[in-house]
Every structure is written in C-alpha cells, then in structure tokens.
Amino acid sequence: MLEARNLTKRFGELVATDDVTVEFGREDGETTFIVGPNGAGKTTLVNLLTGLLEPDSGSIVLDGTDIGGLTPDERVHEGLVRSFQVVHVFEEMSVRENLRTAVLSKRGLTRSAFSFSDEHEGVEATVDGLLDRFRLDGRGRVVAETLPHGDRKLLDVAMAFGLDPEYLLLDEPTAGVSAEETEHVIETIVDVSRARAVTTVAIEHDMDIVTEYADRVLALHQGGVLGQGGPSILKTDDRLRRVLLGVDE
Ligand SMILES: Nc1ncnc2c1ncn2[C@@H]1O[C@H](COP(=O)(O)OP(=O)(O)OP(=O)(O)O)[C@@H](O)[C@H]1O
C-alpha cells in the first residue's frame, strides 16, 4: 500500500497540499482517480509521492516503509513509477525500440551491452507482451512521432509498465487526447493495471470517465481532501458535487 500521512506542502503563503492523508492500493490492481478543480493540488500531491517535491511535513510510506528520504530514481527501484502530462517517448525511435529501452533500463542494461547479452529473448518477449497488452501490436516498427496522439500516450504508459511498477502514478493520461481516443486509452490502462495487479493512480478531469472506470476516487480542493471513496461519492456527496460539477442542490 502507498500512503500519504498528514502531508503538507507550501509555496510561500500558499498551502498547495494541506494535511493530506490517503491510502492507495488497499486492493491489488485498483485504479484511483484524483479529481478536483484547477489548482486543487493534484499534481503537487503526485510530485510529493514520487519525490519530485519535498513535503514541509508529513510522511510517505510504501508497503510499511517511510520512503521520504529516497530520490525519484530510488523510488522507481522500489516499484513507484510515474508518467507525466507531456508524453516522454523518444520521438525518432520506433515503438518497439522505445519499449525495449524501458525494459533494458529496468534490467540495468544499456543498448550496446544488450547486443552482447544473453537476455535478448527475455527482453523481446517482455516487449511483445507490452505491445499486446497495450493494443499496439502491429505497430512495433512505427516511428513514435507518427503515431496518433492516443497511441503515443499508450506507448508512454506502456514504457512506464516496462519499468515493472507496483504503483503507477499518471498525471492526466488523457491530456491532449481526442474525445474518441480517451475511452480507449483509459480502458486499456485500467485493464492492464488489473491484469498485472499494478495499483494505478491517475489525475483525471473527465467526470464521466472517472464514474465509469474508477475503483476509488480522491477529490482534492484547495490542497485538502474533499472526499474519498468509491465512484458513487460523485453522485451522493453534495459538497463534492458543488465543488466538482458546480451542481447546486
Ligand atoms: N512550483 C510552484 N511554485 C509556486 N506555486 C506552485 C508551484 N506548483 C504549484 N503551485 C501552486 O500550487 C497550487 C496547486 O497546484 P497544482 O498544480 O498541484 O494543482 P492541480 O490540481 O494539479 O491543478 P491543474 O488541474 O490546473 O493542473 C496552485 O495554486 C499552483 O499555482
């Protein structure tokens, strides 16, 4: 389980994360969507969890161990992997080469060392598995920059999976993805997370997507926790509906 305990982060006078306590991954393979208005502190919380920012107070606990002292890279080694709002694929490389790079980095191999290693088959089989699970099969040779945006996003997330995460944090995986592609991207991520028992946490603005695909929802407002629970809280919690949907009961 990944826990934030009484996490607080200030930028000058502004409290971007205000005493947040939350648990992710009570069930293996569950997907939690972080929701909230602009400036609610969603990205700041993800940055704190993954070590890009240091909290002013509070702690981050991974499977019972305080990981506050670990760098982002050290957290990746512990199974905590993130992807960013902006796609981080190598544009001029093929889909397969991109995935291979991620899998090699997890195994501590460089591309030149890989040519002489006896791990070819294992690495290629892992890459094939990722192509299949992310419904990119048939596109292995396609150069990343020529992919439709939804597929580039999936490649980005597939690369994060290539690092073999136990916990995956995604900052708006559907940002910039067309309305037609959004559902496919989220459905694929949720399916793979369940199949691989990866606990996934994703920031998402589209409430229809959250209602349909979330196992759990964490709603933030002005840095603090506005509500958390199953997706039904989006329908039943009036305060949350007022803030998120502007619905006046
Ligand atoms: N590095 C920073 N320096 C100063 N203020 C910051 C910094 N990063 C974030 N903030 C402020 O902290 C607050 C929370 O920002 P954050 O990006 O976490 O919100 P968010 O919920 O992810 O918003 P959005 O949906 O617009 O991406 C905002 O008021 C933002 O302006």
Number of residues in the chain: 249
What are the residue ranges spanned by the domains of the chain?
A: 1-79+167-173+201-249, 81-164
CA of 134 to the centre of ligand 1 (A): 31
Yes or no: say if 126 and 104 are a contact pair by the CB < 8 Å rule. Answer: no
For the CA of 41, the nearest atom of ligand 1: 18
pTM: 0.91
Ligand 1 interacting residues, C-beta cut-off 6 A: 11, 14, 16, 36, 38-44
pLDDT reading at 248 higher than 60:
no
Q: Give residue-wise pLDDT tens across range 192-212.
A: 999 999 999 999 999 999 999
Residue 247 in this model has a pLDDT that exceeds 80: no
For ligand 1, the distance from its centroid to the CA atom of residue 225, given in whole angstroms, is 15
Say what percent of the chain tops pLDDT 70.
93
1-79+167-173+201-249: which CATH topology?
A: Rossmann fold (3.40.50)
| Cα angle for residues 62, 63, 67 (degrees, 5° grid) | 30
Buried b (16+ CB within 10 A) or exposed e, 192-208: bbbebebbbbbbbbbbe
User: Is the CB of residue 95 less than 8 Å from the CB of residue 144?
Assistant: yes
Strand pairing of 216-221 and 224-229?
antiparallel
pLDDT tens-digit readout, 130-173: 999 998 988 999 999 999 888 898 999 999 988 889 999 999 98
Q: Which residue has the least CA distance to atom 12 on ligand 1?
A: 16
